[in-house]
Amino acid sequence: MSKQAGCNVWLKLENMQPTQSFKIRGIGCLCAKAFAEQGARHFVAVGDTNAALAVAYSGRQLGVPVTVMVPASSGVQTPPIRPKLELEGAVVVECGRTLRDAYAAACAFAEKTEGALVVDSADDPAAVAGNASLASEISIQLQRREPDAIVVAVGSGGLLAGLVAGLRRCRWQRVPVIAVETHNTNSFQRALLRDADDAAAIAAAAATDSSIASTPTAALPSLLPSLERGPEAECGEIRPPSRPVSEGSAHSLPLQRVTAASAAAADHRASEPTVATCLLAGTTCRSALEAAREHPIVPLSITEAMAVEACRRLLDEHQLLVEVGSAAALSVVGKGLVHQIIPGLNHDSHVVVVVTGGANTNFDRLEACRQRFPYPAPIIAKSGHEIFMCMHDAALTPAPGPAVGAVARAAATPSLDSLSINAGSVLEAAPTQHGTINTATSTAPAAAPPRP
């Protein structure tokens, strides 16, 4: 992967966490704090989700009982995560047919159960602090070398908010973050576009922040935004973005809480066919939207076929199986899009891809996706109001230099150049600097100095 990309690609393997996803960071911190400081003695979660699995794991570690309310399976195949919830000791209760029904049942259960807490991890400061630990680990494992970019898949935005808070702690305010979604799960990018189209909200923001332009089109840059934003946070401080939200602006979206409104929105989004289920979100959390105003974040959506291809490649090359939505971030590097967003990457550059993981998958699901989507997948990516397209791969051998694939901008030229893609290259066999990062250790590049 490093050889094909022409730069040092590092994989932050959150799929190696005890719950197979990053969710344990924020939710684990939230549950521990609720147990120690708020007297929580029973945790309640909603849905067959990675968040629910993190709650179940946290409850078992703390000796706290956990109840998970889920919609009935309705005759379809039981989600792969269901037996994992039960293995952690959680009591799984089927309630109704939708997430709204499950949420109502969770609230009713919490009201009649002493010390019960419905765990909500979106904008909670404890959850943000827990997710911020991701950036601290990356800093240590890269031996304080500042990466040129970090690529991460985005759902509701909780991880993105924590990641930005952690980057501030590391004094990496200039490190761009590429926030990746699929076209039919792009809640985060759509929320930013709504704000960009609200001229009144932008004018109000510009009155208090001179770095925000007064024109709607400047509010959501489609490529790398200006890096000169926001004051530097003090070293050692973890905090979510603190700029107050104007109540009249489009940023005044409901918090990503498991509420009746967000459950209904999630039900509606879930009715739309998608294989990137871990990226489905009813709403986008406010702290993620605020982070996009204070940190260089590039929103990008790709096709499901591209995410499936990246998922297959991770399994073939590293024997790691993750959810399709998690692999969306890998596609940005594997298809060369990272060079279009961050020009000038070379063999001395470092790009970190956060493999967010996901326990709600199995080989049968990936095989069904393989049969459904073409391989190799054509490149169709959207950032803001710009679309990048490439309908086929021209070469399947690595180039001697950086594989800066030429992705044609649809609005600029009718001819579509091709990317240099090496679908069969293996990271461990690449002669250039490369490595992977998991939750406990890292494999440093061959040319790197010894670890202190």
* Domain ranges, ordered by start, for the chain: 2-17+125-438, 23-118
- Looking at residue 76, its pLDDT comes to 65
CB atoms within 10 A of CB 384: 18
- Looking at residue 395, its pLDDT comes to 34
Q: Which portions of the chain are predicted below pLDDT 70?
A: 74-76, 122, 195-282, 391-452
| pLDDT tens-digit map of 321-367 | 998 888 999 999 999 999 989 989 999 999 999 999 888 888 888 88
- Looking at residue 97, its pLDDT comes to 85
| pLDDT tens-digit map of 138-174 | 999 999 999 999 999 998 888 999 999 999 999 999 9
8 A C-beta contact, residue 163 and residue 152: yes
Threshold 0.75, pTM exceeds:
no
C-alpha pair distances (Å), 314 with each of 138, 307, 447: 20, 11, 24
Pairing of strands 66-70, 419-420: unpaired
Class of domain 2-17+125-438: alpha beta
Class of domain 23-118: alpha beta
8 A C-beta contact, residue 27 and residue 58: yes
- Domains 2-17+125-438 and 23-118 are alike in CATH topology: yes
Spatial distance between the Cα atoms of 57 and 358, rounded to a whole number of angstroms: 14
- Looking at residue 41, its pLDDT comes to 95
Q: Which residue in 379, 290, 299, 283 sits closest to 336, CA to CA?
A: 379
Spatial distance between the Cα atoms of 86 and 174, rounded to a whole number of angstroms: 43
